[in-house]
Chains A and B, each alone.
Chain A
């Protein structure tokens, strides 16, 4: 325990799934954690975690909301060392020629613009203390296509190149930026997607099972910690081998 001792971390999408599991693990490992979500569900977890946890209502698509989230972290805990841009949605499922434009835009706004805004406003704070670690949730959908999820796949592909560009730009100033690309993880998104789609994905998976969100949290702890000091600009697949086939 204590792999993130004295670090101040923000986790977006902390109300459920990977975000909630990660916020919990970050806190266990000694970090001060800001739990950000638009749903309000993060408040219960923040209360449970108690000291060293702060709940913030955040809409990652809104610049002022993201800026307020980062300001809350610095005001409450004094600095910012780790930002996990994790908030995301699956969106409506349609073939691309039938995709309503608003449905496309909504996924882009949360899954890609939200990550940009997080990076955009976290970096100035991290530069003040000599560096930090930014982690962005991409997806195995950045590597292989999922029919009817064009906006999701495109946004996640964008997250990876945003990650690499930001990593190249700020490495010299001590800021590391990495992506995590989860496969099928037991979260609200997988519950929301059609069951036969999920079953087909599991059937194809070399490891033959869906992952628990805590398995992704373990990866996030490693990337947030100083153990990964030489790792930046990399995409970290955690998919049980799904994209191999």
Chain B
């Protein structure tokens, strides 16, 4: 018996890192998953490996049209969408504010923030038809505090925005039994983190009370809980998974 039996999920950024870990966990727990990513090679490979429970759709999360296709695919293949994991995100350049290019600012906000709005707008009607659902927006510890070493202002700003949009949606759609929560990962071992740091955490781990970075699968287990009916009274919250980084 899976914790997500009968759930239909859309997971963005599903071809690598945390999105891949969430996809694998969700399928293992009985969910049907529509995987969204720009990375077609890895996305198709993972979907094939997972069999009938997963379908990959090459998608740009900043495209409203692609969101329409994602929801149509989910509904035609599996039924109404009951879980949305807005996981896709980028870091952008490592730049001080006075050096941050306006175009780069716009791109980071489009991918990290606007995409979550587009996703929620596209998916909520499907959840209403289903009688409810769980939306999980991936923010960051950088959506709680401006962490030392944050790459740029756009990253911090977009992650704060994700947290705010989450609360707004939670208050509006609670009446439809739609829950909405934000997740705030600390340092997780992902390809994105590897690209942003030059080591296996060396200098970073000394700042983390637990003394280590996390495996993406540790975040995936939190996602399973938020997606499942076990968290039925949890909405509008910030789920911090950072080994105490921001508790200090």
Please report A residues at the B interface, Cβ cutoff 8 Å: 163-165, 167-168, 171-172, 176, 183, 205-208, 211, 215-216, 218-219, 221-222, 227-234, 236-241, 243-245
Task: Name, among A218, A221, A231, A244, the residue most crowded by chain B CB atoms within 10 Å (CB to CB).
Answer: A231
B242 contacts partner chain A, Cβ-Cβ < 8 Å: yes
B237 contacts partner chain A, Cβ-Cβ < 8 Å: yes
Alpha-carbon distance A211/B211, docked complex (angstroms): 36
A239 touches B233 (CB 8 A): yes
Q: Least Cβ distance of A30 to chain B in Å?
A: 16
Known: A222-B230, A241-B236, A245-B171. A232 touches B247 (CB 8 A): yes
A207 touches B239 (CB 8 A): no
Q: Which residue of the partner chain B has the closest CB to A163?
A: B247
Enumerate B16-48 residues with CB–CB distance to A below 8 Å. Answer: none
B214 contacts partner chain A, Cβ-Cβ < 8 Å: yes
Number of interface residues of B (CB under 8 A): 37
B174 touches A207 (CB 8 A): yes
Contacts of B174 in A (CB 8 A): 205-208, 240-241
A234 touches B236 (CB 8 A): no
Contacts of B208 in A (CB 8 A): 171
- Which of B61-69, B75-83, B219-227 sits within the interface? B219-227
B241 contacts partner chain A, Cβ-Cβ < 8 Å: yes
B171 touches A215 (CB 8 A): no
Alpha-carbon distance A222/B232, docked complex (angstroms): 13
B107 contacts partner chain A, Cβ-Cβ < 8 Å: no
Where chain A touches its partner, the secondary structure class is mixed
B246 contacts partner chain A, Cβ-Cβ < 8 Å: yes
Q: Least Cβ distance of B133 to chain A in Å?
A: 13
Please report B residues at the A interface, Cβ cutoff 8 Å: 167, 170-172, 174-175, 177, 179, 186, 208-211, 214, 218-219, 221-222, 225, 230-244, 246-248
B234 touches A168 (CB 8 A): no
Contacts of A168 in B (CB 8 A): 209, 244, 247-248
A230 touches B243 (CB 8 A): yes
Alpha-carbon distance A176/B51, docked complex (angstroms): 37
Alpha-carbon distance A53/B222, docked complex (angstroms): 28
Contacts of A208 in B (CB 8 A): 174-175
A–B pairs, 21, beta carbons within 8 Å: A167-B209, A167-B247, A168-B244, A171-B208, A172-B209, A206-B174, A206-B236, A207-B235, A215-B232, A218-B230, A222-B230, A231-B222, A231-B240, A231-B242, A231-B243, A232-B247, A234-B239, A237-B238, A241-B235, A244-B170, A245-B171
Alpha-carbon distance A183/B18, docked complex (angstroms): 30
Known: A167-B244, A171-B209, A244-B171. A228 touches B235 (CB 8 A): no
A171 touches B211 (CB 8 A): yes
Alpha-carbon distance A111/B221, docked complex (angstroms): 31
Alpha-carbon distance A228/B96, docked complex (angstroms): 34
Alpha-carbon distance A222/B226, docked complex (angstroms): 11
Contacts of A232 in B (CB 8 A): 209-210, 243-244, 247
Alpha-carbon distance A222/B49, docked complex (angstroms): 29
Known: A222-B225, A233-B246. A240 touches B235 (CB 8 A): yes
Known: A171-B209, A207-B174. A231 touches B241 (CB 8 A): yes
5 closest A-B pairs by CB: A233-B247, A206-B174, A171-B209, A233-B244, A241-B236
Alpha-carbon distance A241/B166, docked complex (angstroms): 11
Q: Least Cβ distance of A57 to chain B in Å?
A: 31
Alpha-carbon distance A207/B167, docked complex (angstroms): 13
Known: A168-B248, A208-B174, A240-B174. A230 touches B210 (CB 8 A): yes
Q: Least Cβ distance of A88 to chain B in Å?
A: 18
Alpha-carbon distance A211/B179, docked complex (angstroms): 14
A237 touches B236 (CB 8 A): yes
Contacts of B235 in A (CB 8 A): 206-207, 240-241
Task: Name, among A165, A168, A230, A231, the residue most crowded by chain B CB atoms within 10 Å (CB to CB).
Answer: A230
Contacts of B238 in A (CB 8 A): 237
Known: A227-B225, A233-B246. A207 touches B233 (CB 8 A): yes
Alpha-carbon distance A238/B181, docked complex (angstroms): 11
Contacts of A231 in B (CB 8 A): 222, 240-243
Alpha-carbon distance A163/B170, docked complex (angstroms): 26
B170 touches A233 (CB 8 A): no
Q: Which residue of the partner chain A has the closest CB to B226?
A: A222
Q: Which residue of the partner chain A has the closest CB to B210?
A: A171
B244 touches A171 (CB 8 A): yes
Contacts of B210 in A (CB 8 A): 171-172, 176, 230, 232
Alpha-carbon distance A207/B180, docked complex (angstroms): 11
B241 touches A238 (CB 8 A): no
